[in-house]
Amino acid sequence: MNEKQIRKNMAILPVSSISKLTGLSPRQLRYYEQFDLVHPKRSKGNQRLYSLNDIDCLLDIKDYLSSGMTMAEVKRVMLKQSPIADQETAEVSDTAARKIFSKEMLQIGRWNIHDSNNLY
């Protein structure tokens, strides 16, 4: 992978930053981790270290949850197009990903996408 991808998975932001950037509470961020929705690295102090890629995932997750999906459902969608880890993360972290996500949702067909209930 090139520098671009490396950095996307290198960012090491503390949970507080992620919380502000995603609008999710630290509690939720840790909770989502239990479902393998995100894979933050850990510092020696056992501190969670999120990458820019994780932020991207979190934002999508947030979107899906707002659309009425549950953790298990979101997880399934994520696993099908989340090559994250430290392999060959193609450059489909933003735009392309969004399209794929939408496609997945429509295919699985069951989550009607009428209105986004932003309740926060």
Partner DNA sequence: ATTCTCACA
Partner DNA sequence: TGTGAGAA
Footprint of DNA (CB under 7 A) = 14-17, 25-28, 30-31, 45-48, 65
Minimum Å gap between C-beta 3 and DNA is 27
Q: Which residues of 38-74 are buried (b: 16+ CB within 10 A; e: fewer)?
A: bbbeeeeeeebbbbbbbbbbbbbbbebbebebebebb
Q: Name which of 109 and 119 has its Cβ closer to DNA.
A: 119
CB of 47 to DNA, least distance (A): 4
Please, what is the minimum distance in Å from the beta carbon of residue 10 to DNA? 17
* Residue with smaller CB distance to DNA, 26 or 83: 26
Of residues 43 and 107, the one with the C-beta less far from DNA: 43
56 CA to centre of own chain: 5
Total residue count of the chain as it appears in this document: 120
Shortest approach of DNA to residue 65 CB, angstroms? 6
The H-assigned helical ranges of 51-120 are: 52-66, 71-81, 95-108
User: Which lies closer to DNA via its Cβ, residue 5 or residue 67?
Assistant: 67
